[in-house]
Chain A
């Protein structure tokens, strides 16, 4: 789960991390007032969306006065920001952060994330802040410092000192920097984070370190034990179809193609999308009804897919391992009758009680294209979706 920059700032600030003074505003007038209260010459007005790449997309504006702050906020608020990370539909801007512009002397990169292979938090740092860290990793791997922590305490003091040393910071910053690193490590563990990223971490003219930009995301599987984090969820930043799907315990990701997909199991669902693409089709969605799909979940999935206006055909691919295909067929028939389906439906049922399931579909009198193989099903769906 992602949170906004202003929320991440506040989480870290409450743990003693130095962040630039700032306020969040949801109207241009409030943004102007926030500028006044900051009482500094220059400020940045930053669009609050759940995506990186805001600067290049025009979502961060440097302003030198109350009027400019108001204008920037007016332009951003209510707009849709499209960045390199949002996809073509972008994200709505409902809030801006107005923060003091720092007098920056040097920029660093600092993050904690989860290393999957070593099963521990990993600290990544660089004296080249404000960059795309993955790009830097490719072009100049030597500019990146990596230190593996542990999943119990986060980062040990000696590890923080190693990173400090590798960054070549002034000795006077030893205390603040190692303290900051350990704070991030501890927050990562305490809050079940997936990522904490300070990019850039600024060394200012007054010698202080300040987190000029903060990004945090959290492990979805652990959100239940952090109600204070769960409260920060912002549905405006999520695809409404995904929110609706989550209510029915379905896993859904909206895409831009024409073939609606309903599959049991995440791996098989991705493979089904791949097979459609291999045959020249484009999936409209990823939808996993779960390894233990029920007739009710199937019906909910159908309603969800059929609401997507781009969908010109639907492909159902169920491999009944534990689930029984005859029960799935029942769910399909209920849903098709209920929503009066207007687009062609291709169904492939395989595994436990598949024959009974196929027979039920064939006897229904409804126009359902029964596929006899995984490959054939994908071909039929691609064919059916052609305009």
Chain B
């Protein structure tokens, strides 16, 4: 078991012929992911060729997501299309019947994401991202851009708003011999498809996960919502690091979502409520892995 993606996940890559899409489609294939289709409007009927040491793959490219799902049975989408058309790509994937849509693209207008979320939510489609590194179950499947080389199969779940800080945490875990059940980057934007709470709920139910690392940051109230869920419903241990304790208020710290407005969204407040909910706080971002070892 694991959450969201596993051996059976059949991935279509929207934007597979672009720079990022083609690079990461190869990376996904290289770690054993079933990439079954690509979507690039106007390039339907062509074949995306990927080769590496000891493996090779030919992925059919379709004009529409509907064709891709119909022809290949794709059940997850990884979106690498430019920001201006990424929300449309999310809607297209959902319309085609993909139950899991992972949007890697950064810089999509917030209201576009809000509209897409409201449209696909009632259909039961799960959106991860945008502006995220995606989802990976080490040794089974990767839908996104998390570097496979730093991961290892195991029993720690990871959920994060960040990209490279997630890699840092995964790398610390792997270095301590603590593999990961599934790692999920939910994205750094103000509006994202899935919240910490959504993913914690999945980890709580997952037989293959023993503990969860939550990596939050300043801005919004997703960590506070997560704290409420952890206090009321979570039985597995949670270790958290919250980035941005020393960020100045009112400034956008790289991520569109990382901004402290007034006293809302400060790291100190998030840490306080998480601690109250029984979460182990890693004060030092270099010791996230060690704190997980402590609670296991």
Contacts A117-B225, A119-B191, A278-B283 known; A266 to B111 CB distance under 8 Å? no
Distance between B235 CB and nearest chain A CB, rounded to angstroms: 24
Report yes or no: B161 in contact with A220, Cβ–Cβ below 8 A. no
Chain B residue numbers with a CB within 8 Å of A150 are 118
Contacts A116-B221, A321-B164 known; A269 to B146 CB distance under 8 Å? no
The 8 Å CB contact of A151, one of B111, B168, B247, B255, is: B111
The 8 Å CB contact of A274, one of B83, B114, B285, is: B285
Q: Which residue of A lies closest to B219 (CB)?
A: A116
Report yes or no: B195 in contact with A117, Cβ–Cβ below 8 A. yes
Selected interface stretch from B10-18, B34-42, B237-245: B237-245
Residue B6 at the chain A interface, CB threshold 8 Å:
no
Report yes or no: B147 in contact with A267, Cβ–Cβ below 8 A. no
**How far is A378 from B284 in the complex, measured between Cα atoms in Å?**
11
Q: Which residue of B lies closest to A116 (CB)?
A: B220
Residue B162 at the chain A interface, CB threshold 8 Å:
yes
Report yes or no: A267 in contact with B243, Cβ–Cβ below 8 A. yes
Report yes or no: A151 in contact with B118, Cβ–Cβ below 8 A. yes
Report yes or no: B284 in contact with A275, Cβ–Cβ below 8 A. yes
Selected interface stretch from A58-66, A283-291, A298-306: A283-291
Q: Which residue of A lies closest to B149 (CB)?
A: A352
Chain B residue numbers with a CB within 8 Å of A319 are 164, 167-168, 171
**How far is A373 from B168 in the complex, measured between Cα atoms in Å?**
11
Chain A residue numbers with a CB within 8 Å of B258 are 266-267, 270
**How far is A234 from B76 in the complex, measured between Cα atoms in Å?**
43
Chain B residue numbers with a CB within 8 Å of A378 are 286
Residue B107 at the chain A interface, CB threshold 8 Å:
yes
Residue A380 at the chain B interface, CB threshold 8 Å:
no
Chain B residue numbers with a CB within 8 Å of A152 are 115, 118
Q: Which residue of A lies closest to B287 (CB)?
A: A375
Distance between B30 CB and nearest chain A CB, rounded to angstroms: 13
Q: Which residue of A lies closest to B107 (CB)?
A: A221
The 8 Å CB contact of B147, one of A219, A224, A352, A375, is: A352
B219-266 contacts to A (CB < 8 Å): 220-222, 225, 241, 243-258, 261-264
Distance between B67 CB and nearest chain A CB, rounded to angstroms: 28
The 8 Å CB contact of B171, one of A221, A288, A350, is: A350
Report yes or no: A351 in contact with B167, Cβ–Cβ below 8 A. yes
User: How many of chain A's residues touch chain B, expressed as a range?
Assistant: 35 or more
Residue B66 at the chain A interface, CB threshold 8 Å:
no
Distance between A87 CB and nearest chain B CB, rounded to angstroms: 7
Q: Which residue of A lies closest to B20 (CB)?
A: A292
**How far is A254 from B84 in the complex, measured between Cα atoms in Å?**
29
User: How many of chain B's residues touch chain A, expressed as a range?
Assistant: 35 or more
Residues 142-179 of chain B, each 1 if its beta carbon lies under 8 Å from chain A, else 0: 00011101100000000011111111100100000000
Chain B residue numbers with a CB within 8 Å of A315 are none
Chain A residue numbers with a CB within 8 Å of B115 are 151-152
**How far is A263 from B254 in the complex, measured between Cα atoms in Å?**
11
**How far is A40 from B15 in the complex, measured between Cα atoms in Å?**
61
**How far is A192 from B110 in the complex, measured between Cα atoms in Å?**
8
Report yes or no: A220 in contact with B257, Cβ–Cβ below 8 A. no
Chain B residue numbers with a CB within 8 Å of A178 are none
Report yes or no: A267 in contact with B251, Cβ–Cβ below 8 A. no
Residue A230 at the chain B interface, CB threshold 8 Å:
no
Distance between B180 CB and nearest chain A CB, rounded to angstroms: 14
A234-276 contacts to B (CB < 8 Å): 251, 253, 255, 263-276
Chain A residue numbers with a CB within 8 Å of B262 are 134
**How far is A286 from B162 in the complex, measured between Cα atoms in Å?**
15
Residues 62-89 of chain A, each 1 if its beta carbon lies under 8 Å from chain B, else 0: 0000000000000000000000010100
B61-114 contacts to A (CB < 8 Å): 83-84, 107-114
Report yes or no: B253 in contact with A269, Cβ–Cβ below 8 A. yes
Report yes or no: B109 in contact with A221, Cβ–Cβ below 8 A. yes
Contacts A219-B109, A267-B166, A271-B285 known; A253 to B248 CB distance under 8 Å? yes
Report yes or no: A116 in contact with B215, Cβ–Cβ below 8 A. no
Residue B270 at the chain A interface, CB threshold 8 Å:
no
**How far is A288 from B251 in the complex, measured between Cα atoms in Å?**
14
A112-148 contacts to B (CB < 8 Å): 114, 116-117, 119-120, 134
Report yes or no: A286 in contact with B245, Cβ–Cβ below 8 A. no
Report yes or no: A375 in contact with B286, Cβ–Cβ below 8 A. yes
Residues 87-114 of chain A, each 1 if its beta carbon lies under 8 Å from chain B, else 0: 1000000000000000000000000001
Residue A222 at the chain B interface, CB threshold 8 Å:
yes
Q: Which residue of A lies closest to B283 (CB)?
A: A278
Chain B residue numbers with a CB within 8 Å of A251 are 253-254
Residue A189 at the chain B interface, CB threshold 8 Å:
yes
Closest 10 CB pairs of A and B: A267-B162, A266-B254, A265-B164, A267-B165, A222-B109, A151-B114, A375-B286, A271-B285, A270-B243, A374-B286
User: What are 6 inter-chain pairs, A to B, with CB distance below 8 A?
Assistant: A117-B222, A120-B118, A194-B110, A221-B108, A267-B162, A375-B287
A sample of 16 more A-B contacts (CB under 8 A), given A120-B118, A134-B263, A275-B284, is A114-B111, A150-B118, A151-B111, A219-B110, A225-B109, A251-B254, A253-B248, A255-B248, A266-B254, A268-B243, A270-B246, A270-B253, A286-B253, A319-B168, A351-B171, A378-B286
